[in-house]
Structure 1
Amino acid sequence: MSRSAAPRPPVSTEGASILIVDDDPEIGALLAEYLGQAGLRADAAGDGSAMWQALAARHFDAVVLDLMLPGDDGLTLCRQLRDRSNLPVIMLTARGRATDRIVGLETGADDYIAKPFDPRELLARLRAVLRRTGINADPLPARLRFAGFTLDTRMRQLTDAQGSPLPLGGSDYSLLLLLARHPDQVLDRDHLAEQVYGRDRLPGDRAIDVCVSRLRQVLETDSRTPQLIRTVRHRGYTLAGPVQRDG
């Protein structure tokens, strides 16, 4: 980690609440039992209707969402979730092709696992996503306000000066949250990749640059001449200007 990378306080995932959406009741029950034994709280739903009922009834910290479901499929449900919130989503599917994974991630999923899989891998990926999104992080304020925008960390939602919600995918939210928590501080690409994607950045890896480009399309008046998220050549990115913390 470089000197410009801001340290992130340790985040506990103990007791996080997970909703498993899979039309195979045996898989849902087994995963719920396994995650429960690992210290997480897990419920299962068999389709999109049951998913929405569960989400309306109680708070969840992440969703494990099967791609192949009766009625609305996982991609449709993920898009709908992204329209309403930025709840972390891990796609679960029998399709292992790279194109399917890319479509799932572009829809707004935070991660993607192909069946058959080791439950230990799902647990590790869940914990990584929860850490990246700041579950149970005490120092995290309820809202971050900057340049007329408000980032609600409880709803994981970005709104403009008029209070209208703006589109923000899972990785985009994680990156913006990291930048907003450290305004006017240069965060290098390696640190950002580690925090946002939970992995080391490889040579030629431009995932963070693409993520920044998407954020600029949402935040900047002219994304070609960014004033808010600025590039520091050969180092990384910084969010320019003051950030107000509420809550």
Structure 2
Amino acid sequence: MIKKGVTLRGIEVFEALAGRGSVAHAAAMTGLSQPAVSQQISNLEAAVGAKLIDHSCRPMRLTAAGETFLRHSSLALAHVRQAQSELTVMDLVSLTDLHLGVIDDFDNDLTPRLATILADSMAGCRFRMVTDSSKRLLQAVQDKALHIAIAATDGDAKEGLIEIPLARDPFIIVAPAEIEADGADLLGGRTGLPFLRYEADQLIAGQISNQLSRHNINLTSQFEIGSHLALMAMVARGIGWTITTSFGYCRAQRF
């Protein structure tokens, strides 16, 4: 029997804190206040009867007991999340028609898995899946050509659409491995290395431009590239540096 006081919420907060070592980051990831995060950890430690976090370190570190607990609790959370996903799919079984759009960034990983899961679970449904850019997918939903889309947004409310956040994908700077410069040097134009932009019509290009404008940063660029992988290849070759998202960076592991 699970001890009284051990909750899924507490384990989720513990996992977030273990991953970042910061109460502030854990609060941002879980949507709780910082005092609420600290209280969840205190309750969890009291319930399991052991100190899980070494609060004297910055960033905070797991104790030996915390390492052991994280191994098992992470598996438990993974099973719960998988169960939630499968139940969500089961809710779609009664559908007779579904037109789904998925951002083309997911073509190599998420989309094939999603397509097979939905196909297996919706035998009686007329199922159509398309991949495209976020802008075109959102427009297709507004035009009622699609029922639902998995896409990036700029955060602005769009008439007739309901947005449900699934994940956050923060911007990061990506530079050639051999360049000895920090982000401030690159953003300040002090390296002589050119800035590589996404093609202006892409949603991410506008998001990056807006973010730079908020910080009064003006970067000129000789290159404007429409292919994300081509952009990453150019950075790996030492042609320049760029700003992308953490997910985009992970997609470019081959470089």
Same topology, TM > 0.5: no
The structure carrying a bigger helix percent of its residues is 2
Q: TM-score range by the shorter chain?
A: under 0.3
The structure carrying a bigger strand percent of its residues is 1
Give the structure-1-normalised TM-score: 0.26
